[in-house]
Chains A and B, each alone.
Chain A
Amino acid sequence: MKTAKEMGLGLCPECRKVNEMLSTQQRCSRCGSLFFQRKVNSLQYTLAWNIAALIAFIPANLYPIMIIYSLGVPEASTILSGIGLLIDHNLYPIAVVIFTASIIVPLIKIVGLFFLVLKVHLGQRLKPKKHSKLYHVLEFLGPWSMLDVFVVALLVAVVELGFVSTVEAGPAINYFTLTVIFTMIAATSFDPRLLWDEDDTIEIDKPKEEF
């Protein structure tokens, strides 16, 4: 099995045309976009965005995401305590959905990307088929963590339009949004081809160019 890199070719990430790499930065002959054979500094960028996401995830869970005024008394709830409230009200399906979208998905995503970065960095390949599936899953999961942000947005709007009790969005919503956006950027910075390159290129006389 030959790879495009071994043949001095590169795949345009925009239009998927195979181009001859005449320079390190190649302009695609079909769509005109500039690209590199591999995403430049992919691991560093992925790691940096991932750490940023992890940092933003802490205040996202500590600060209240929603403040409910019942009879004039403000009651702040964080993501976790909000889920607790749902369980108290026996709204299990919604509790599960919110818990999955707000806690499990971002965490899986952050941990999964750390794992992939580490694997590439160490040059280990356990089962590439499994790893590239993992990456697919991570890419797909991304937007779903926006759920809680949208929920609070909708509740604030509906309630503001004239209800007895009022709901206000808490500061956590901004941090949470940042977490989601950072993990999405981290996933797009990661180049899954690096998972395959390592042991293929070792035997080739070319020196390793990236990282």
Chain B
Amino acid sequence: MSSASASFIDICREGLLHLVRRPMRTALMAMTSAIAIAVTVNVISLSFGLQEDIRGDVNMFGTRTVDVGRLPVLVPGAARPSLGPAEERSIRGVLQGLDALIVPRRQAAATVTLAARNGAEAHTERFQVVASQPAYLKTLTVPVQHGRWLNDGDNVVGEQGVASCALDHAAAKRIFGDEDPAQAVGKVFELTLRGQARAMTVVGVLSDPLRYRELFETFDEGKGARTLTSSLLSFRNIYVPERLLAGEEYSGISIVLPTDVAVGQTRDRLMTIWSLDATDPIALMRGGIGVFVRKDWMDALGASASKGTLVGNVVWIIIVLVAIVMISTLNLITIRERYEEVAIRRCEGARRRDVALQITAEGVMTSLVGGLAGLPVGYVGAAILREIVQFPFRFEFKYAIAATGIAILLGFFSSVVPARHAARLQPARVLGRRLN
């Protein structure tokens, strides 16, 4: 007894011929799939793109940097903890052998007089001033975009008291208007720090690690910004030579480690100095000194971005489910017109699974073609949306691959019911009927 059966390729070819011979119906189904895939790539490029960008951004904050700083809230009656060269020395002591770069910094609020422009009158605005050694740049992973970073020469008092400074991208834009921040290099502005006004020359501008500053600031609202460390990480700072805040207490000490393991060890060893327990907020308060591992904070931020992605995923999953229901229904209706065809195939030797396979192959091919047509539509739609709402979208090949996979699944799942229906057809019922 022969157990040979039709090849997979032959059955797919039968399905393909069927599709080609009913172009209108095929086009309708493909269009449904195209729309679903267009929405899917659109949403995927939005939500995954956003998530990846945010992860990329926070990685520029210095993944292996640990900050030691005073906590913003003091227990009433407790003495304000001291953070100065003595503490720096104890840190150096406990971190011996870890190849740690230890950079103290001082921060202060300052005002800048902004020139009148774009109809706005001249006014002053608050900025965070960070005074530190040239090594401070190493605590970040942010590149210098224009000009240069501060060097030891900048710490020497120059003629007429003019001082050098470097700016965060956002600060440069704010101080000099919305023009290209490259133009800021070499410009002079007036900075009022500790009640003393002085002219500052911009020597360089850092690039902005926050692609979606608004989103970031929304996230950070009321959370980190209270602390000096996280106001530092909103990257709207004016970086000045150490001497401008000389003699003051440190605002914080940034420690750069060469490895992730060293970051963990640093956290543990710093706990021994201030007997801090990061998991116990009361203990943290008692010491008055906090140890802030930037990576932990970034992970929390990344997790928030994941929640946004989840919402996006729900949207495209619903659209794809709707498409599955629509295509299934359309398919099921047209299967009724195909009773004779199915009965003939069964009569001539097609097994139930051959029929089911053909219907499924037709569904997958239609949906795949529709999906491939929907890809560029989705991308163009995303590009238009980006223009309109200024929201981040990312276009990546891997999202197209994912959407193609989704198109295949869409075709598969929308064929399940029609394929079962067709496979269960009893050929004798169809073939026995007489003409009249």
| Chain B binds chain A | no
Instruction: Enumerate chain B interface residues (CB-CB to A < 8 A).
Output: none
Instruction: Enumerate chain A interface residues (CB-CB to B < 8 A).
Output: none
